[in-house]
Amino acid sequence: MTYSIRSLAKEDLAQVNAIDREAFPNQWPPANYRQELQNRLAHYIIASDDSRTVDSPPEKPPNRLLRLASRLIPWLKRTDTTQAQPPQPYIAGFSGIWMMVDEAHITNIAVRQPYQGRGIGGLLLIATIDLARELKASFLTLEVRASNLVAQNLYSRYGFNKTGLRRGYYLDNREDAIIMSTKSIASPAFQAQLQQLRESLSRKLSQVSK
Ligand SMILES: CC(C)(COP(=O)(O)OP(=O)(O)OC[C@H]1O[C@@H](n2cnc3c(N)ncnc32)[C@H](O)[C@@H]1OP(=O)(O)O)[C@@H](O)C(=O)NCCC(=O)NCCS
């Protein structure tokens, strides 16, 4: 199985919202990815499974008035704007950052449940670090729930260290957030470690796909 990484697009919103709801069912306030597409500080990427596609919803909802009118007046030609869209790539996960001066703040990272544990979280994290570097960030930072050990382990592996605590940060259950940050991502030491991680991840991904 191979995966592709690219920027989030309007056509991806339905799938990204579904993944978000699955990954963060109690999150409050819920993320608004449509608004994020307009936010010039925000940069989101998606990882898609190259072996699958999904039928995309029509771009505009059917025009109900026109449907009714064309039933009542048979000679009225239906010209509603609903058009079948080509199948879309199947999104396995996504991540996003906000660029704040030289800090890239990871807002979200999530992988569909059946795809977890296959290295896609790592793939997204590496792509997010590369993106942050392209955007001239010096370092990355994020908040993670104190109880979310899977995510904390993933971040530690990819060079994030615990740098602080925000008490009662999450509005849904008042859980504490652990702040995790990288050192300078442009430093030769960080880049050398990232290169090693890239290589071991690519071995893991090719084994998982066999
Ligand atoms: C955190 C998350 C993005 C990781 O994605 P992923 O695709 O599973 O990540 P990877 O496969 O690259 O690696 C995760 C590591 O955790 C392990 N792992 C994954 N799911 C696990 C689980 N449910 N229990 C224990 N370990 C798990 C993996 O085996 C892997 O460890 P390894 O490299 O030693 O094998 C994913 O679990 C997720 O979407 N969780 C819900 C949303 C979330 O919590 N996001 C983080 C918000 S801060």
Q: Is 149 in the pocket of ligand 1 (CB under 6 A)?
A: no
Give the ligand 1 atom nearest the CA of 120: 7
| Measured distance CA(138)–CA(31) in Å, rounded | 26
* Ligand 1 site, residue 150, Cβ cutoff 6 A: yes
The amino acid present at 32, given as its one-letter code, is N
CATH number of the domain within which 75 lies: 3.40.630.30
Whole-model pTM above 0.75? yes
Whose alpha carbon is nearest atom 40 of ligand 1? 110
- Give residue 181's pLDDT: 98
Strand 103-111 and strand 139-145: the pairing is parallel
pLDDT by residue (tens digit) across 95-106?
999 999 999 999
**Nearest CA among 173, 113, 119, 135 for reference residue 40:** 135
Q: Lowest mean pLDDT of 33-42, 73-82, 113-122, 179-188, name the range.
A: 73-82
Rounded to the nearest angstrom, the distance between the alpha carbon of 124 and the centre of ligand 1 is 11
User: What is the domain extent for residue 105?
Assistant: 3-208
Residue 119 Cα, ligand 1 centroid: separation in angstroms?
8
Instruction: Give me the number of domains the chain comprises.
Output: 1
